[in-house]
Amino acid sequence: MFGAAGVVFVLRPEGMTPLVMLQKRSAWAHEGGTWSCAGGAIDEGESPYEAALREAGEEVGDIPLHHRELGEYVFAPADDWNYTTIVLEVDHLFGASVNFETDAVAWVAVDEVDQRPMHAGFAAAWPHLRAIIEAAERLPL
């Protein structure tokens, strides 16, 4: 009803290609078995940022305390619904399948993301999200 939001977590290891966290959607979920970012429905009164972090915490575990927002992309496949993806840089690897919505979590090099079977909405947003990641300066968190 209020749209949905998710978060792409980014880690920039020194001297390496940035890594992003991908979530494998459980078999029962819409487009189950595909890879995407953690996320879900926005609740009434919640901002997309708040919803993205809440949903990610529910699906992949506690989010690192030290993080910074690199940007966001709004995918609007319909006039009355959109999906906002927040891009957050973190300072260490984390994440696990902590509930029934997630079959697996993987940290994947940015240039290898599109080699996985992706959720259609995430696939449509990925070029824009990748541009945000690649444009961001490496700064200490």
What proportion of the chain, given as a percentage, has pLDDT over 90? 72
| Residue 105 one-letter amino acid | V
Instruction: Enter the pTM of the model.
Output: 0.92
**From start to end of 32-138, where are the E strands?**
35-36, 38-41, 67-78, 81-90, 102-109
Listed by start position, the domains of the chain span 4-135
Fold of the domain built from segment(s) 4-135: Nucleoside Triphosphate Pyrophosphohydrolase (3.90.79)
**What confidence tens digit (pLDDT) does each residue in 12-60 have?**
998 899 999 999 988 877 777 899 999 999 999 999 999 999 999 999 9
Gap between the Cα atoms of 36 and 118, Å rounded: 6
